[in-house]
Structure 1
Amino acid sequence: MSTKDCGHHDEGRQILRRILAAVVAFIFLILLIIFLIWIILRPTKPRFMLQDATVFAFNLSTQQHTPPLLTPTPNTLTLTLQVTLSSHNPNARIGVYYHALHVHASYRSQQISLPTALPNTYQGHKDYAIWSPFLYGAAVPVSPYTLNSLQQDQDAGVVLVNVKVNGKVKWKVGTWISGKYHIDVSCPAYFRFAGDHGGGNVGVVAPAVKLQLLQSCSVDV
């Protein structure tokens, strides 16, 4: 191999090293910028709380004995609730936009009310937002498993209902606004329960019972 060929190989290796060094430096710079942004902004997801719930109706109708030739009557649940939800933006430099939020009630992973839409809301730095939606479920069919669980909860004197919120959020830093991210919120609510199995109906202690809950919610973004 000639001296001229060796010189070309050495020059090629130097160019390759420079390219690799530039790529590594660029990646390091990007990671450093991301780290500095995180240190400065310290982004934190919103914090939700279920403040209270007013129970206007929560009645379970069990099927009665049906003649063999007739279609059995399903077990149904009818409920009317009003809940008060609050959200706190803990970020000092990040605003939050809420879009297409819907709230519904769920019992043991079964949705038991229609979804109720919440208004689009902007939440500034360290700001709070409060919603008080009504949740309705008219003669919602329930499975035999759900029926048994509700009757067991009745015997225990309390029923756990999850108030769930889902929708989209966007982050605002200065004039920059991010894309939309999905948000899921779950708030446990314990309701007092009373009734009589023999009568075929189960209900709350009294109509329009207001419960002060102040229950923290789990939030996934």
Structure 2
Amino acid sequence: MARIELEVPPDENRGPRWSLLVKVAGAILSVLVVAFLIARITVISPHKSLFTLEDVTLYGFNVSNSPILITSEFQVTITSRNPNSHFGMYYESLDTYATYQGQQVTSRTAVPDMYEGRESTSIWTMFISGTSVPVAPHVGVALNRDWVINRLVVIMIKLDGQVKWKLGVIAKGSYHITVKCPAYIPFGTNGTGIYVGNNAIKYQLLQRCGVNFSR
């Protein structure tokens, strides 16, 4: 019996068609992954970071009268913890400063941008100071009462800036973050600080801070 052999010519278009198919499949997969991440961000609400004022080192705190001027210098240590198991945190354009009775008493100090990974903890050490900062008369009266009579001055350490949540390759829109950490500074014989240098006193506070996010 005669054997018949058939020769099928190669498909010259198979290579380009296969390459196009791979590109289309890759594009579809990328769109699906991005859609999944966006849906996950929408469904899973990230939690706020937890901030704690660990300690304050007071290098100087002076008040002059007529007019009332405050000169101060602090070093503060704040820890932040990202409690989210899915989201990282980007901190951008942060400033730190101190207020007393709602009035700013130091200059703003810029804080470097930082990324905080999932379920991780960061330590922030910052210097803040103000020289001859004028305050309103009623603030001066309250400060004199707290310092001279109560021997306890509550300075509010603040952080202001922007934060973004990151899930995979997706970063969720920027939010304004405000952190408020009350520093209870005792003066006189009731002081609980530790001398760490010439006229420098360190106060261990471990004070939980308030955190607010807004658009």
TM-score between the two structures when normalised by the length of structure 2: 0.74
The equivalent position to 2:210 in structure 1, one of 194, 215, 218, is: 218
**Cα 1:37–1:168, aligned 2, differ >3 Å: closer, same or farther?**
closer
Q: State how many pairs are aligned.
A: 169
1:59 aligned residue: 62
Maintained 8 Å contact 1:42/1:91: no
Maintained 8 Å contact 2:70/2:131: yes
What amino acid is the match of 1:209?
A: I
| CA-CA distance at 1:104 after TM superposition | 0.2
| CA-CA distance at 1:110 after TM superposition | 0.2
| Aligned: 1:153 with 2:146 | yes
| Aligned: 1:79 with 2:72 | yes
What whole-Å deviation, never above 9, does each CA across 1:11-52 have from its counterpart, x for those lacking one?
xxxxxxxxxxxxxxxxxxxxxx96x7566x451011111000
Gaps of 5+ in 1: 1-32, 64-73, 196-203
Gaps of 5+ in 2: 1-37
1:178 aligned residue: 172
TM-score between the two structures when normalised by the length of structure 1: 0.72
Maintained 8 Å contact 2:87/2:117: yes
| CA-CA distance at 1:193 after TM superposition | 2.6
The equivalent position to 1:112 in structure 2, one of 105, 108, 123, is: 105
Maintained 8 Å contact 1:192/1:205: no
Tell me the percent identity: 41
2: CA distance, partners of 1:37 / 1:82 = 37
Maintained 8 Å contact 1:103/1:115: yes
2: CA distance, partners of 1:111 / 1:173 = 36
| CA-CA distance at 1:158 after TM superposition | 0.3
The equivalent position to 1:91 in structure 2, one of 84, 87, 92, is: 84
Which stretches of structure 1, 4 residues or longer, exceed 6 Å deviation after superposition?
none
The equivalent position to 1:169 in structure 2, one of 159, 163, 186, is: 163
